[in-house]
Structure 1
Amino acid sequence: MNFEERNTYGMYKDTDEQGPGPRLMGADTLIGNDVYNENNEDLGDIKEIMLDMTNGQVSYAVLSFGGFLGMGEKLFAVPWDALKLDTEHKRFVLNVNKNRLESAPGFDKDHWPDMADQAWVDKINAYYETRSQSDQQNRQNMY
C-alpha cells in the first residue's frame, strides 16, 4: 500500500468489501469531519484524533461544540467507541442529544485534561457509557 492508493478523501482503496466503510483511513482525513446525533442534529466537528501510543489504538476524537469562529467553543474528548461512521453522509454519529453534550465533561483549547489520568478516563467512559481500551484488553485476556 502506498500514498497513491488513497482516494481524494484520504481513504485507502478497499479490497475486501467488509464493514460500513473503508478499512483504513488517513487520520488527517478525519479532522474537520462533522458529528451528528441520531436525531440529525449537528453536534460539531472533529478537531483532533488522540492515539494511545502504548497499544496503537485510537482512544478519543476531540469534538468541538458551540462557539463561533473558534471563540467560545468547548472541546470534548469522545471515546472512539462512542462514534459510528456514517458513510452515506460522510460524517460521524454520536448517540448523545445536544443538552447532554452541553453538560458533558469538557475543556477549552488552552486547558486540556490529563488524558492518561485513570480517574479522568473512568469519568469519560462512564459519561459516554463506553469501556476504556485497557478494560477491553483485560476482558479479552480473560478468555
Structure 2
Amino acid sequence: MKGFLLVALLGAAMPGLGTAAAQTAPSQDAGQMRSPAPGAPARVPLPPADAPLPYQPMRVGELENREIYSTRGEMLGSVKRVVLDVTDGITFIVLERGGFVGIGEKEFPLPADRLYTQGGRLVVPGLTDAELDNAADWDVRDQKYREMADSEIINVARR
C-alpha cells in the first residue's frame, strides 16, 4: 500500500511517472529540442564527435611553399607568403607562379577565404591557368599589407 501511495504521489508531482505505459512508451517529441524556459540558457545541439570541423587552423609556416591547385587538379602555383591587409583585416595568400629559381615569377593575392583544403591539397575554385597568365603582377611592398609571421595561425576551410 505504501508503494502504491508513493507512486501515486510522485505521479501527481511528475505526470507520466505513475504508469508503466508512460515509463516505457517513447516520448512523442523524442529527437526534438524543446524551447528552453524563459531565463534558462538556450541548448545548442552539438555536432557528432566524428564530424569534421568546417575550418582547419594552420600556421603560416605550414602554408608557405605548399602547392595550390584548381578544382580540376591543375597546379596553379605555390604559396609565397601570407599577408594581412591592415586597413580591413583581410588575410591574403600570395600565390607565386612561373619563373625559374626566383627570377621572373609573378605574384597574385588570393583572399584566404577563397581557398580550402581537400585531401591534403590547397584548392582554389574558379581560378584557371589562363586567368593567372593574363593577370597583372602584384607588389606586396604596398604599405597596407603586413607579412604574417610563420607562427601566426589562419583558418582554412575544409571540404
TM-score scaled by length of structure 2: 0.51
Structure 1 53/16 Cα, relative in aligned 2: closer, same or farther at 3 Å?
farther
The CA deviation string for residues 63-84 of structure 1, in whole angstroms up to 9 with x for no partner, is: 0011111111101111112211
- 8 Å CA contact 2:85, 2:144 repeated in 1: no
Q: Following the alignment from structure 1 to structure 2, what is the Cα–Cα distance between the partners of residues 63 and 35?
A: 8
Structure 1 48/101 Cα, relative in aligned 2: closer, same or farther at 3 Å?
same
TM-score scaled by length of structure 1: 0.56
Q: Superposed, which structure 2 residues align to 1:1-143 within 5 Å?
A: 18-19=52-53, 22=56, 24-53=57-86, 59-86=91-118, 88=119, 90-94=120-124, 95-107=126-138, 111-112=139-140, 114=142, 116=144
Q: Give how far 1:49 is off.
A: 0.7
Q: Residue type matched to 1:103 in 2?
A: N
Identical pairs, percent: 31
- 8 Å CA contact 2:93, 2:109 repeated in 1: yes
Aligned residues: 96
Unaligned 5+ segments in structure 1 are 1-14, 118-143
- 8 Å CA contact 1:20, 1:85 repeated in 2: no
Q: Residue type matched to 1:84 in 2?
A: Y
Q: Following the alignment from structure 1 to structure 2, what is the Cα–Cα distance between the partners of residues 36 and 115?
A: 29
Unaligned 5+ segments in structure 2 are 1-48, 146-159
Structure 1 19/34 Cα, relative in aligned 2: closer, same or farther at 3 Å?
same
Structure with more contact order per residue of length (Cα contacts < 8 Å, sep ≥ 6): 2
Q: Following the alignment from structure 2 to structure 1, what is the Cα–Cα distance between the partners of residues 121 and 96?
A: 14
Structure 1 18/58 Cα, relative in aligned 2: closer, same or farther at 3 Å?
farther
Structure 1 54/112 Cα, relative in aligned 2: closer, same or farther at 3 Å?
closer
Q: Alignment RMSD, CA only?
A: 2.7
